[in-house]
Structure 1
Amino acid sequence: MIETIPEPQRQISPYAIQVWRISSIISHIVTIIIFVAIIFMQQHFDWYGWIGHASYVLLAITALHSIYGIFYYPALMQRTWRYEVDAEHIHLKHGALEKTHTIIPMTKVQYVNTNQGVILRKYGLATITIGTTASSHEIPAILEEEAEMLRSQIAIFAKVTGSE
């Protein structure tokens, strides 16, 4: 009989939407400023004409991408992110267009960290990073208290299974 692993059910925080929107706004503003600076310099320093044309095209693409990246993508990712931690596995599932389902055996866990930047701290959130021998995985934007508890739980499970 084949044992099936149930789908993960726990969601990341709804505040992840605001965090990802703020991050996206910052990165898009920086990108737009760079393209505007390139266009300005092309016009004032008589650079090749194709640089200005390419910059306008890239600026338009960036503007369209910013609409998607600020308004749609964060909400879509928050709705699709699921995780579950039990004594044997860590289950991560996310993505709407490109779905990713990762199952990490506790025996492979080498370390677990919590990370918190300025924007995450403002919303009381943290990201958990789980390291294995081959890669690292993240559970983004969960409540800070839950992240601390989950980090401890994973560390205990990993120690019990003999991976640390």
Structure 2
Amino acid sequence: MKKEIKEPEQCISSRAVAMWRMSRMIGHVIALLILAALIGMDMAFHWWNWIGWVLYGLVGLTVLSGIYSIGVEPAILQSTWRYDVSEEYIQLKHGALTHVHVLVPMTKVEYVTTNQGPIMRKYGLYNIQIGTMASSHHIPAVPESEALALREQIARLAQVKDGE
């Protein structure tokens, strides 16, 4: 008799959208400032004409990239991310265009860690990193209390499975 594995139901935090938007906005602003400095240098030092065109093209691509990666993508990522932890598996499911569904057997888990950068700290979120001998997986943007409890649960279940 085959036991069916039900779909993961746990969602990542809705604050992930604002956190991803903030971090991506910082990256795009830095890129635009660098491009603005290069355009200023092009005007001051009269570089070849094609360099100015390339720089303006890069500005346009950066703006288009910003519209998608700041305005659209974070909401899609948050709405498609699902995870679940059971005694047998850790399930990770995400993706809008390319659907990814990963089952990590609890017997293969070697370590589990949490990490948090300064922007994630502002929103009270953690990433959970799960490592096996062959690969590493992560669950992004989990609220602090849930992330710490989940880390302990995975570590305990992996230890129990390892000890059997």
TM range (shorter): over 0.9
1:141 aligns with 141
Structure 2 distance, partners of 1:110, 1:124, is 26
| Separation (CA, whole Å) in 2 of partners of 1:77 and 1:83 | 13
Letter in 2 for 1:156: R
- Residue 48 of structure 1 deviates from its aligned partner by 2.0
Aligned partner of 1:105 in structure 2 is 105
Partner of 1:76: 76
The 3-state SS of whatever aligns with 2:47 is coil
Q: TM-score, normalised by structure 2?
A: 0.95
1:125 to partner: Cα distance: 1.2
Q: Classify the secondary structure of the residue corresponding to 2:54.
A: helix
Instruction: Please name the residue that 1:15 is paired with.
Output: 15
**Hey, what does 1:65 align to over in structure 2?**
65
Matched residue SS, 1:161? helix
Residue deviations 1:116-150 (CA, integer Å, cap 9, x gap): 11111111111101111122111111110000000
Matched residue pairs, number? 163
| 1: CA distance, partners of 2:136 / 2:39 | 40
| C-alpha distance in 2 between matches for 1:108 and 1:145 | 25
* TM-score normalized with structure 1 length: 0.95
Matches of 1:15 and 1:41, distance apart in 2: 40
After the TM superposition, which parts of structure 1 deviate over 4 Å for at least 4 consecutive aligned residues? none
Q: How big is the shift at 1:88?
A: 0.8
Name the SS for the 1:139 alignment partner: strand
What is the alpha-carbon root mean square deviation over aligned residues?
Answer: 1.2
What's the secondary structure of 2:162's corresponding residue? coil
Give unmatched runs, 5+ long, in structure 2: none
Give the superposition deviation at 1:92. 0.4
Instruction: Report matched runs for 1:1-164 at 5 Å.
Output: 1-162=1-162
User: For the residues of structure 2 that align with 1:43 and 1:4, how far apart are their CA atoms?
Assistant: 65
Structure 1, unpaired ranges of 5+: none
